[in-house]
A and B are shown apart, each in its own frame.
Chain A
Amino acid sequence: MKGEVLDGTALVMAPEDNVATALEDLDAGDRLADADPPVTVAEEVPFGHKVALVDIDAGDPVRKYGEVIGEATEPIAAGEWVHTHNCESRRGRGDRAAEAADGPGRGESA
């Protein structure tokens, strides 16, 4: 597999990634000792879902595959589950385009 497996339970696809993908169901308290710095899982992270490896500020990019996959909508602490509740796409946002077209900021690109 490409990337680096942490403690047999989480996969980091590229060195610049700030999230890892759970290769099994992770529980609060599980340790990713191989991570640098090591991370304690803060909550349940289901198989295939992502866990933050470092603190991520609101608005900061979330990186996987060495690429930006979206941005944090709120501060995410290392060890927390990263998913749709705290990370959103920067793309395909027709809702924003519609808001911009209807709202006072008409003419601005969304």
Chain B
Amino acid sequence: MDTFDGYRRPDGRVGVRNHVAVLPTSVAASPVADRVADDGGRWARATPHQMGTSQPDAGRERTREVLAGIGANPNVGAALVVELGTEDIEADDVADDIARSGKPVETLTIREAGGTAGALDAGAETLADLWAEVGSQTREEADASELVFAVECGGSDATSGIAANPALGDASDRLVDAGGAVCISETPEFIGAEHVAAERCADEETRERLLDRVDRRERLADLMGVDMRGAQPSPGNQEGGLTTIEEKSLGALAKCGTRPIRHVVDYGEAIPVGGGVSVMDSPGYDVESVVGKVAGGAQVVAFTTGRGSTTGNPIAPVIKVTGNPRTAERLAANVDVDASTVIDGEPLGEAGERIYRTLLAVAGGAETAAEARRLEEFAINERQPRELAAEGS
């Protein structure tokens, strides 16, 4: 049986980290959240972002849901929600959602605390109290089936499709076979590979949902008169040898393995645990895409990169995998698993096994390169007016 040691939460889910999250409801509260977490300790994590003020209703709702999802992620032991006090998203609402997972949660209003200075003092005090509540929690044995594993790729090149993603796909299959869940996102990167993904769907409903989401993203590009060739593959992808979106998509899809696709969920929506492979409908921007999956409950992320990416996440550890021997050398300190060995003849199954073992080790507490360097990018996808209009039409 494949196991790891994690933090069992009141709602039964298992965290791989024991963070106290400091969640600002808006861009205005983000600097305070950042400072409070910085002064807090290595277990404190802020999620500063640009959203939360003057958003249309649907956009604001997404921001609120993502923040609540991040707070409810089992890697979070306790949460502090920070607001300026003039936002459309109220800290109390976000806190109420998080509290439903049974964990301690507090709020802080900058205006009522006497401005930023007062808020920093009050925030430090609250954070210390929250840590006193959850800091002594210890790890206990958990089954691999309790893991939700997010797979992501960024800075892709031709090696992503031939080495890193197939190796990660092998690890994804291993986790699904052990009863766990894998989630892939970035809908634009299904364009040109949707027929391959559709064949893997477990039932007709999932298949139709998936094809509909891909079609919607492509129509959105059409609606805007965009020649997708300029952005997909990106100029960097093109330098790395990727010529078309079809080629990029076929390579990208490999990272979620070969097991049946059972669910299609919205951006930030809860990812079914123990449910095999899920697809999250998200944009093709990796930081926002990772955040959507962490808001959906993913505890660990694996991120393949060809040309190089150093990005991490404040709440979930991000395992970096590369299939490019030059990147493995140049970014050695940012890479956790070198899968470029596949190009020299290492069997895919062996590289996949190495990634799977790394996943279990990281779930059990082993630090990733991004964590060691405190790389914690955070961004919430904004629902664009055009996107909302297209949905309405």
Query: Interface on A for B, CB 8 Å cutoff?
Result: 1-3, 11, 13, 21-23, 46-50, 62, 64-65, 67-70, 82-84, 87-98
**Inter-chain contact A48/B246, CB cutoff 8 Å:** no
Q: Which label, helix, strand, loop or mixed, suits the secondary structure of the B interface?
A: helix
The contact of A89 among B161, B245, B348, by CB within 8 Å, is: B245
**Inter-chain contact B229/A93, CB cutoff 8 Å:** yes
Residue of chain B at shortest CB distance from A92: B228
**Inter-chain contact A94/B222, CB cutoff 8 Å:** yes
**Inter-chain contact B241/A64, CB cutoff 8 Å:** no
* 16 further contact pairs, Cβ within 8 A, besides A11-B162, A65-B251, A70-B243: A22-B241, A46-B241, A48-B241, A48-B324, A49-B158, A67-B193, A84-B238, A87-B243, A91-B192, A91-B246, A92-B188, A94-B221, A94-B223, A94-B227, A95-B225, A95-B227
Q: How far is the CB of B366 from chain A (nearest CB, A)?
A: 27
**Inter-chain contact A97/B243, CB cutoff 8 Å:** no
Question: Is B65 on the interface with A (CB-CB < 8 A)?
Answer: no
**Inter-chain contact A50/B243, CB cutoff 8 Å:** yes
Residue of chain B at shortest CB distance from A66: B250
B214-239 CB mask vs A (1 if < 8 Å, else 0) is: 00001001111111110010000010
Chain A residues with CB under 8 A of B326: 47
With contacts A70-B243, A91-B246 taken as known, whether A97 is within 8 angstroms of B228 at the C-beta atoms is no
A93 to B224, CA, bound (A): 10
Show 15 A/B contacts (Cβ-Cβ < 8 Å), sorted by A. Answer: A1-B162, A11-B162, A48-B157, A65-B251, A67-B250, A70-B244, A70-B246, A89-B245, A90-B244, A91-B228, A94-B222, A94-B227, A94-B228, A95-B227, A96-B227
Chain B residues with CB under 8 A of A49: 158, 241
The contact of A67 among B162, B191, B218, B246, by CB within 8 Å, is: B246
Chain A residues with CB under 8 A of B348: 1-2
Question: Is B211 on the interface with A (CB-CB < 8 A)?
Answer: no
Chain A residues with CB under 8 A of B228: 89, 91-94
**Inter-chain contact A69/B240, CB cutoff 8 Å:** no
B241-256 CB mask vs A (1 if < 8 Å, else 0) is: 1011111001100000
Q: How far is the CB of A56 from chain B (nearest CB, A)?
A: 13
With contacts A11-B162, A48-B159, A95-B226 taken as known, whether A1 is within 8 angstroms of B241 at the C-beta atoms is no
| Interface size of B as a range | 35 or more
**Inter-chain contact A94/B224, CB cutoff 8 Å:** yes
Question: Is B343 on the interface with A (CB-CB < 8 A)?
Answer: yes
Q: How far is the CB of A93 from chain B (nearest CB, A)?
A: 6
**Inter-chain contact A97/B244, CB cutoff 8 Å:** no
Residue of chain B at shortest CB distance from A5: B345
A98 to B157, CA, bound (A): 30
Q: How far is the CB of A21 from chain B (nearest CB, A)?
A: 5
Q: How far is the CB of A18 from chain B (nearest CB, A)?
A: 13
**Inter-chain contact A97/B225, CB cutoff 8 Å:** yes
Q: How far is the CB of B334 from chain A (nearest CB, A)?
A: 20
Q: Identify which of residues 173-192 in chain B touch chain A, using a CB-to-CB cut-off of 8 Å.
A: 188, 191-192
Chain B residues with CB under 8 A of A96: 227
A87 to B345, CA, bound (A): 30
The contact of B158 among A2, A21, A62, A93, by CB within 8 Å, is: A21
With contacts A23-B343, A92-B221, A92-B228 taken as known, whether A3 is within 8 angstroms of B162 at the C-beta atoms is yes
Chain A residues with CB under 8 A of B222: 92-94, 97-98
Question: Is B308 on the interface with A (CB-CB < 8 A)?
Answer: no
The 4 A-B residue pairs whose C-beta atoms are closest, nearest first, are: A92-B228, A48-B241, A48-B158, A98-B225
The contact of B196 among A13, A67, A90, A95, by CB within 8 Å, is: A67
Chain B residues with CB under 8 A of A94: 221-228
With contacts A49-B241, A70-B247 taken as known, whether A92 is within 8 angstroms of B158 at the C-beta atoms is no
**Inter-chain contact A1/B343, CB cutoff 8 Å:** yes
**Inter-chain contact A84/B243, CB cutoff 8 Å:** yes
**Inter-chain contact B247/A48, CB cutoff 8 Å:** no
